[in-house]
Structure 1
Amino acid sequence: MSAGDRLLATTPILNFNHPSITQLIEDRGWKALSQHDRIGAVYDFVRNEIAFGYNRADDIPAADVLDDGFGQCNTKGTLLMALLRAVGVRCRLHGFTIHKELQRGVVPELVYPLAPNEIVHSWVEVETEMGWANLEGFILDAEFLLALQSAFTDSPSLCGYGAGTDCLQAPPVEWTGGDTYIQETGIAQDFGTFDAPDEFYAAHQQSFSFVKGILYRHIIRHWMNTRVRRIRSGNVPQIPGLALPNHKHEESRHAS
């Protein structure tokens, strides 16, 4: 199989031949679009119709992410890759780790000290008519991002609450044909590119002890998803050491 074929291939994780994915693509009519618009339509679907949230594991198949209806960097990236390949767009994965500080505000403070210092992260590289583009801006859905922008209008940069950006009020998250980012400033290690997430997770898995893994899957991630929903609704918690949400400024002024 040629390198080009590998970047269009189905895999156990990129299971875009699953009936739920093929039906979605048929219903949306994405294959009839130009390459630029195909990428944009798939990107916008994953960004905004798959909400930001935490699945049971990083290496679940694309159809499971679609069924969950939510995901984070790695799982939303898996679904994005599967949909892109299903409509004939070549793509690959670029693996990283991010500093755990980026997850403060989402990870409950009680368990934050137990979190790994670096968290497995990835974005999708897609082949466009102009060359390769890095896609990471799909991680936070528009409603969640707007809640952060509304809470931190005085902060040009933010590393926390799932965001890592130096331009919070106007981050490059819209598909225009080039790179998109929303967690770029939190990157720690760069693992390079992989043809598929299957290869990436075979080499780089998040290191949890057995007990911590069970706690994450059955308790902590549900706690995190509850916090994500609260943030999306505008209830952004105050976290020591991070920028102060605007509503906290208001409370301080009223108290004084």
Structure 2
Amino acid sequence: MARTKKLLLAPALVLALSLSACVGQDDKDGPVSEENSPQEALDLAKKTLDETSGVQLELKAEDLPANAPGIVLTGASGVAVHPRAFEGDIVASLSGLTQNGQVVAIEDTVWVKIALLGNAFQELDPGKIGAPNPAQLIATEGGLSDLLVSTGDVEEGDSVRGGSNNDEVLTEYTGTLAGDDVTVLVPTASGDTFDVVYQIAGNGELRSMAITGVFYADTDPMTYTVSFDDYGTTQKITAP
């Protein structure tokens, strides 16, 4: 009888251990807030982004004003690596006309291929059209990571699920940014202050930042969201 009970208990024990392992895998990264104050979490996120070899980066515009002046960057996606370089696709708008294009940026030189400007890659000063230098976005100085340590009124928000398989616990942090700080994203940003929401994974990786405010003069507030994934990405980026 005792042997029979052991045989019956064995499958149940295996099942329990398997379920426990699955739960552990789903929760492999607990909230970054467990061991860090809000400012410590943002400091860790900057350090993690600054020290990685590269990331997959995506930028999206929400509630873009119809009367935004000139050529406006509405989206971008690609690989950003250290030292300063970027290669990927962009979406731009001019007076409501949307165009897809390609961009390569190495240090301070940017090449763009988009129908609005021609059918071949050409060098472009993105600042002249109010766009950021994509190579600067993850620069260790003067890049988006600087915003993490420049944020004022930082408060911890909710914990949410995220990641490519929804298997990460992300902690949200809210705060404010000075208008001068966000010019790394939109050089013409005209608002005095901007609201920001960060999502940070348990391992200290910044997953996204959403910045809301008046980016273009005499327009309503809008939001730019930048997402970061695949930390440790490597890619050799060369001039087109």
TM-score category of the 2 structures, normalised to the smaller one: under 0.3
**TM-score of the aligned structures, taking structure 2 as reference length:** 0.28
- From the two aligned structures, give the one with the greater strand fraction: 2
**TM-score of the aligned structures, taking structure 1 as reference length:** 0.27
Greater CA radius of gyration, 1 or 2?
Answer: 2
